[in-house]
Amino acid sequence: MAGDTPSGPAPLFDADSCPRLAPGVKLVHDDVRGQWILNAPERVLLLDDIAHAIVSRIDGKRPLTEICDGLAAAYDAPREMIGADVLELVRDLARRGFLRG
């Protein structure tokens, strides 16, 4: 991912958290770049394929456990590894102001 640098402490999230996009943040496909981005007021964050797979499942209703279970099944990957990666990304995006808990 390219974009803003993290600042401040990592927000608290756990397996039962239901993160959502922060106000004014939209997940959109940038046709010029040919990639998914998080578009926020005066900021853009380019998402790699893995980050997009995670962020596209974040809706403010599904807990992280459900998101991780779906990703583990979709990618046939160990649940523990997926869970750690998802939590790390969610905390980073929240610290950058793209997600809320």
The CATH number corresponding to 20-100 among 3.40.50.720, 3.30.565.10, 1.10.10.1150, 1.10.10.10 equals 1.10.10.1150
Dump pLDDT digits (tens) for 19-52: 999 999 999 999 999 999 999 999 999 999 999 9
> Lowest-pLDDT range, 8-22, 48-62, 72-86?
8-22
Whole-number pLDDT of residue 38:
98
Give the model's confidence band at 6: pLDDT under 50 very low, under 70 low, under 90 confident, else very high: very low
Query: What would the mean pLDDT of 11-23 be, rounded to a whole number?
Result: 90
Query: What would the mean pLDDT of 13-18 be, rounded to a whole number?
Result: 90
Whole-number percent of the chain with pLDDT over 90: 83
Where residue 8 falls (left for φ over 0; alpha for ψ -120 to 50; beta otherwise) is left
**By CB neighbour count within 10 A (0-12 exposed, 13-18 middle, 19+ buried), where does 14 fall?**
exposed
Which pTM value belongs to this model? 0.86
Other Cβ atoms within 10 Å of 52 Cβ, number: 18
- The answer to whether 24 and 38 have CB atoms below 8 angstroms apart is no
